A and B are shown apart, each in its own frame.
Chain A
């Protein structure tokens, strides 16, 4: 009997198989007519998801609708047909005309209309609403491989802490990507308020980023109008406060003078009043009467006024002996600092995380952030490995200056991005392999060619006669040129002349140096013999020149 049925039916089954598309490729349904539709989904709340996820339904129609028998499912986009029931509407559940109905966890504020732990996936996934009559609506987010998980193209993934919202609330273009966007969670409220001004998240910036104590600074940021209505200029107020250990204080206030149409945004700049040294939480608010979405009115920025607890004291950006790049830090505060809580970045500001060291930095203590911790310890076997930290990824430091006259910068930040210290440096005139060390408030080539990792730089010795060479019989181990000039900073060069007066070589190309300093030098390519080293130094003022000579003898040079 069954065989006879199959025999008669197989042509039809074959035709169905060839003509009907696979279920997985079928387009998922979009919001139905004037029924309630999914209007907001929070699937990745900030912090712990438990109890905070919600799905909001919005009813655009004029007649109350019962949700009895309506099913809400969570879809797992990793493969086809993976839907899990999360909630089923009861007889008491209904949506008023032009109203909303929120299904969510116990920690959703305000309390949802229907409490349910949704356990939504974080994308690429979907939620599906199925009505008792079989009508279905799907909202998909993230990059999907299966068409059943979205209406049209899926919406872009929302960052953690943001919901995915239909904007405007009744948008229904047949394409999730067009109708949905990340938004500040607003359960039970309109996704697009009539009047709303907000700071664009992450747009706040301080210039300079780390101003000096009581020094001038400018705060910039972008204010946007996500509401339906335009806001004329002069009716909104920008208010900046700071919170620190000493309490909250007003920092700046100004009118928003520009008019913002719906969807527009504008950059605003506010001069900040002088502020004391320390770390502050800057809070910027935009206030306008009738704002229906106060949750997005404020944004915060953690800033530091004045120097941080740690300063950069030495930078090796062009190692010559395989030890890798490294940056030395010193704790200038009166309290311990845990280097593991810091981050190191270069001018591109890609922070690397330190690991491998084991000790907190005591006041006045030094730590090393290394590109290659093992190689650095091999190069400097005497230093204590407890204060050497491997930074990953290492922010590769540039070796040559760009058109601005700067090669790169070493930047230290706290875990939350608050800047602690920054040291811009120039590579011009720095001998290969010689690190830069902080002396007299600026960075100079190290007194010792190998630098002074985990130690303060040696103090330059007094130089009688303004210019000295030691030792005066120079072997392949090299010598040191030392100078003491009548200026804090000078441009210095040292040339070598032979006994006949012919200029033979340049030992130190002209470079900016501290007025009192030393420079290691190794003779290369010079014949043995007697030479006269000529130091020429000039200050910034034209006409001020120091000229000094010393005789030296080179042994074991080229013949």
Chain B
């Protein structure tokens, strides 16, 4: 049962669009998915409290280094999470605070998210712009298969987000320690491409190893997660044909164990 939950969580975070505030490596969501809950409003199946930290370097640009902290948990079917993050240097960077709430059962879940973002300005610059966005997501399981959809920026106000995101949807199928998934991200604005993602993962009780491919442009990612006791570490390296690699590293802490 634990393995199934982990596989489902892995699939849920393997959405195609690159994200901006709480996009962790897949193993972070594999364990419980608090970061993914905040990023896409897809509630984790487990309800144990979790603390997750995330460090990101996007496309090898130190100007876009980011750190995030997320805390989540639940009671019965209720799921909540909150977090904050800071990405980038003054002038182009931003800070954000997010909150997500929803419900999840073994057969499905749904949630909403709200995120407030503030630009980080250089000293002496005008007051930073503030933007708010809200969205929702849901997933449903049928046997070994799962389907999900998320619209994390269904509503926006104020300053525009660093990355516009449209509707994202996907599905996965798990069998005998192997999970396959496919996902699609709609065009976020005129001129932006639609992207598709496929991936495969090998999972065990204390590890996960996965590869993922994406188009526009074609690229791939390799991820690994390990867990010992209440602590888990996950990392992913995503290649790009033009830009440098993106690296995400997350550390998870689950004081009450890694069960649901």
| Residues of chain A whose beta carbon lies under 8 Å from any beta carbon of chain B | 471-473, 495, 497-505, 525-530, 532, 534, 547, 549-553, 555, 557-559
- Contact of A501 with B163 in the complex, beta carbons under 8 Å: no
Contact A499:B88 (CB < 8 A) given known A527-B164, A532-B59 = no
A499 CB to closest chain B CB, in angstroms?
A: 4
Q: Is B64 an interface residue (CB 8 A)?
A: yes
- Contact of A503 with B217 in the complex, beta carbons under 8 Å: yes
Assembly CA distance A525 to B192 (angstroms):
11
In-complex Cβ contact of A552 among B92, B160, B240 (8 A): B92
Assembly CA distance A144 to B54 (angstroms):
97
Contact A472:B191 (CB < 8 A) given known A551-B61, A557-B160 = no
Assembly CA distance A527 to B164 (angstroms):
8
Q: Is B219 an interface residue (CB 8 A)?
A: yes
Assembly CA distance A534 to B241 (angstroms):
12
Q: Which residues of A contact B192 (CB under 8 A)?
A: 498, 502, 504, 527
Assembly CA distance A550 to B190 (angstroms):
23
A500 CB to closest chain B CB, in angstroms?
A: 3
- Contact of B195 with A551 in the complex, beta carbons under 8 Å: no
Q: Which of B72-80, B172-180, B242-250 contacts A (4 or more CB under 8 A)?
A: B242-250
Chain B: CB-nearest residue to A526: B191
- Contact of B243 with A549 in the complex, beta carbons under 8 Å: yes
* Chain A interface main SS type: strand
- Contact of A558 with B243 in the complex, beta carbons under 8 Å: no
- Contact of B92 with A499 in the complex, beta carbons under 8 Å: no
Q: Which residues of B contact A555 (CB under 8 A)?
A: 129, 160
Interchain residue pairs with CB less than 8 A apart (22): A471-B91, A473-B91, A499-B18, A500-B18, A501-B18, A501-B59, A501-B214, A502-B192, A502-B217, A503-B217, A504-B191, A505-B191, A527-B164, A530-B20, A532-B59, A532-B243, A549-B61, A549-B243, A551-B64, A553-B162, A558-B190, A559-B160
Chain B: CB-nearest residue to A557: B160
- Contact of B18 with A525 in the complex, beta carbons under 8 Å: no
Assembly CA distance A258 to B240 (angstroms):
70
- Contact of A501 with B160 in the complex, beta carbons under 8 Å: no
Residue picked from A473, A497, A499, A552, most chain B C-beta under 10 Å: A499
Q: Which residues of A contact B163 (CB under 8 A)?
A: 498-500, 529-530
A369 CB to closest chain B CB, in angstroms?
A: 41
Contact A501:B243 (CB < 8 A) given known A473-B91, A551-B64, A553-B162 = yes
Q: Which residues of B contact A501 (CB under 8 A)?
A: 18, 59, 214, 217, 219, 238, 240, 243, 246
Residue picked from B91, B159, B242, most chain A C-beta under 10 Å: B242
Assembly CA distance A350 to B91 (angstroms):
53
- Contact of B189 with A527 in the complex, beta carbons under 8 Å: yes
Q: Which residues of B contact A500 (CB under 8 A)?
A: 17-19, 163, 195
Q: Which residues of B contact A552 (CB under 8 A)?
A: 92
Q: Which residues of A contact B193 (CB under 8 A)?
A: 502-503
In-complex Cβ contact of A549 among B19, B60, B159, B190 (8 A): B60
Assembly CA distance A503 to B219 (angstroms):
12
Chain B: CB-nearest residue to A534: B242
- Contact of A497 with B243 in the complex, beta carbons under 8 Å: yes
Q: Which residues of A contact B17 (CB under 8 A)?
A: 500
Q: Which residues of A contact B43 (CB under 8 A)?
A: none
Q: Which residues of A contact B228 (CB under 8 A)?
A: none
Assembly CA distance A137 to B195 (angstroms):
94
B206 CB to closest chain A CB, in angstroms?
A: 31
- Contact of A503 with B242 in the complex, beta carbons under 8 Å: yes
In-complex Cβ contact of A530 among B162, B214, B242 (8 A): B162
Q: Which residues of A contact B59 (CB under 8 A)?
A: 497, 501, 532, 549
Assembly CA distance A550 to B192 (angstroms):
20
Assembly CA distance A501 to B245 (angstroms):
10
Contact A525:B160 (CB < 8 A) given known A495-B242, A497-B242 = no
Q: Which residues of A contact B190 (CB under 8 A)?
A: 525, 558
In-complex Cβ contact of B216 among A473, A495, A503 (8 A): A503
Apart from A473-B91, A497-B242, A528-B159, 12 more pairs, CB < 8 Å = A472-B91, A498-B18, A501-B59, A501-B240, A503-B216, A527-B160, A528-B160, A530-B20, A534-B242, A549-B59, A553-B119, A555-B129
Q: Which residues of A contact B58 (CB under 8 A)?
A: 499
Q: Is B36 an interface residue (CB 8 A)?
A: no
A234 CB to closest chain B CB, in angstroms?
A: 69
Chain B: CB-nearest residue to A525: B191
Chain B: CB-nearest residue to A536: B242
Q: Which residues of A contact B161 (CB under 8 A)?
A: 529
B99 CB to closest chain A CB, in angstroms?
A: 22
B227 CB to closest chain A CB, in angstroms?
A: 28
Contact A502:B195 (CB < 8 A) given known A532-B243, A558-B189 = yes
Assembly CA distance A494 to B189 (angstroms):
21
Assembly CA distance A411 to B240 (angstroms):
49
Assembly CA distance A66 to B200 (angstroms):
120
Chain B: CB-nearest residue to A527: B189
Assembly CA distance A431 to B239 (angstroms):
33
Q: Which residues of B contact A499 (CB under 8 A)?
A: 18, 20, 58, 64, 162-163
Assembly CA distance A555 to B125 (angstroms):
15
- Contact of B92 with A551 in the complex, beta carbons under 8 Å: yes
Assembly CA distance A500 to B88 (angstroms):
15
B69 CB to closest chain A CB, in angstroms?
A: 20
Residue picked from B92, B240, B243, most chain A C-beta under 10 Å: B92
A546 CB to closest chain B CB, in angstroms?
A: 13
Residue picked from B20, B91, B129, B164, most chain A C-beta under 10 Å: B164
Q: Is B140 an interface residue (CB 8 A)?
A: no
The 5 residue pairs across chains A and B that have the minimum distance between CB atoms: A500-B18, A528-B160, A530-B162, A499-B163, A527-B189
The 8 A CB mask of B54-72 against A (1 = contact, 0 = none) is 0000111101100000000
B18 CB to closest chain A CB, in angstroms?
A: 3
Q: Which residues of B contact A472 (CB under 8 A)?
A: 91-92
Assembly CA distance A528 to B161 (angstroms):
7
Q: Is B188 an interface residue (CB 8 A)?
A: yes
Assembly CA distance A530 to B159 (angstroms):
12
Q: Which residues of A contact B243 (CB under 8 A)?
A: 497, 501, 532, 534, 549
Assembly CA distance A526 to B244 (angstroms):
23
Assembly CA distance A501 to B241 (angstroms):
10
Assembly CA distance A472 to B120 (angstroms):
13
A528 CB to closest chain B CB, in angstroms?
A: 3
Assembly CA distance A527 to B166 (angstroms):
13
Chain B: CB-nearest residue to A474: B92
- Contact of B164 with A553 in the complex, beta carbons under 8 Å: no
Residue picked from A473, A526, A552, most chain B C-beta under 10 Å: A473
Assembly CA distance A383 to B64 (angstroms):
44
Chain A: CB-nearest residue to B242: A534
Chain A: CB-nearest residue to B216: A502
Q: Which residues of B contact A471 (CB under 8 A)?
A: 91
Q: Which residues of B contact A503 (CB under 8 A)?
A: 193, 216-217, 242
